[in-house]
Chain A
């Protein structure tokens, strides 16, 4: 399997008043296509920053990050947006749906070639049959997260990045969401990276990476 994402001595430095904080301090990491990785660590360990750079939402201060061999710092903002839309699916902790749109409209929002049947089929697979026209406010947390996952998958991305996807769910719903992600990885070969501080959720992954102070410790 070829390398999908590569972190090469990546540093990310923020200014907090006078002080400089290193959110990432020389991160080296390579993830292969078709892998399922969980990233764990206490808050402030840099795992969110790691995910933002992996999702091209943020740029390294130093070092290089490549996705599919492309150095993201060399891409225009338009090319970055196209990569996000075509290759990357995001699953956020706080669901982050458009409250004014129906579940189906939310799923289809980033869709490149509008295909109603495809969107419905995907939602059915996520256990959302019959919820097409409900608005996010009318759905439970678990259901909202399934809508988010459907939206993340609508353009058949090569990688799904999930930031605490089970953070706001009870353990039953959390396991169901992790099961869906595991299925996607095993059956569809989608590369998955999950950032979590929930050990139980992390166990679904094939590999667990522990982060601390902006570096990988195991």
Chain B
């Protein structure tokens, strides 16, 4: 029988008291998990949806070049241009299948594509599917490539989406456009680029998208701050409970001292008890928060983003944080417990 086991017993024996103490922590932690989770989810959604717009310039073959595709050599020149970063290639080209015109589109980001059925890989627009009678599993042959349709998009267009690398390969390693961020003013960079590399034209885009992403990041910080206030209230209730419990147990602590436990041991067991309260409260809070996140994800159709909404770092941070803060909250009561005068404590009824 040691003091730590006894501290654990104290929590178990006073279930209602322990539950009420933990309630503050539970609510605080659950609020943090839900608020931060939803905001993180929303941030991911916004970032995904806008990432295709996150570029400053679009470089495509100039009209004078007489082709809608630029060869690999030109593309390499553009991509190694020093004032560009986050360079992304796009390849799209026309094909005729059974007399119907379709556009083959290379894509780097399947999440942006809204699917009606199936999964990513080879996705056809529902317009194409209707005209050509495609369903998931249908065989398609494009430029001597045998492919199987894996999904149907909601869009009623004329596109067939494949991985960008595959599209580029099918188009003899040519690309139709390159998007990139720029170092410095996009307009100047675009003009320089057109002057230095022949056969390309460059257009600039507004920076609104970056502003939107910044705003989402800000809202995440704001949500975290609000939720932290909730946790703070929970921690204060730990201080309160531990103080009451030390006062209630004055006589017991006196006995422990009389039979030879050191001040350090008594302080340690009190801190241990506070830490257990904080840890258990946080674990329960995370579980409740996770349920809340799941419900919210369903309601907001964010289910694709579950892993972003309930990140491991958040769970670890709140559990460790709540435990550490609870131990800190136990410090003052623990000091009081260890400094008790034995003779007076034994007289306590």
Contact = CB atoms under 8 A, between A and B. Distances in A.
Interface of A: 52, 55, 57-58, 77-78, 81-86, 88, 90, 92, 96-98, 100-101, 105, 108-111, 114, 151-152, 155
A88 B346 CA distance: 17
Nearest to A83: B260
B148 to A, nearest CB: 68
B343 A52 contact: yes
A108 B260 contact: no
B51 interface: no
Given A97-B255, A98-B6, A109-B256, 19 more contacts: A57-B342, A78-B263, A82-B262, A84-B257, A84-B260, A85-B259, A85-B260, A90-B258, A92-B346, A96-B346, A98-B252, A100-B6, A101-B1, A109-B1, A109-B6, A109-B259, A110-B261, A114-B1, A152-B259
Given A57-B343, A101-B1, A108-B1, A90 B259 contact: yes
Interface of B: 1, 6, 9-10, 13, 251-252, 255-264, 342-343, 346
A100 B261 contact: no
B255 A101 contact: no
A118 to B, nearest CB: 14
Contacts of B260: 81-86, 88, 110, 155
Contacts of B342: 52, 57-58
Contacts of B264: 78
Contacts, number: 66
A201 to B, nearest CB: 21
Contact of B263 (A58, A77, A111, A155): A77
B261 A81 contact: yes
B259 A58 contact: no
A123 B110 CA distance: 74
What 7 pairs between A and B have smallest CB-CB spacing? A85-B260, A84-B260, A81-B262, A110-B259, A57-B342, A105-B1, A108-B1
Contacts of B257: 57, 81, 84
Candidate in B1, B13, B256, B260 with the most chain A CB atoms within 10 angstroms: B260
Nearest to B264: A78
B15 to A, nearest CB: 13
A85 B263 contact: no
A151 B258 CA distance: 12
A160 to B, nearest CB: 12
20 contacts: A52-B342, A52-B343, A57-B257, A57-B258, A58-B343, A77-B262, A78-B262, A81-B261, A81-B262, A90-B258, A92-B258, A96-B251, A96-B255, A96-B346, A98-B252, A100-B6, A100-B9, A101-B1, A105-B1, A110-B259
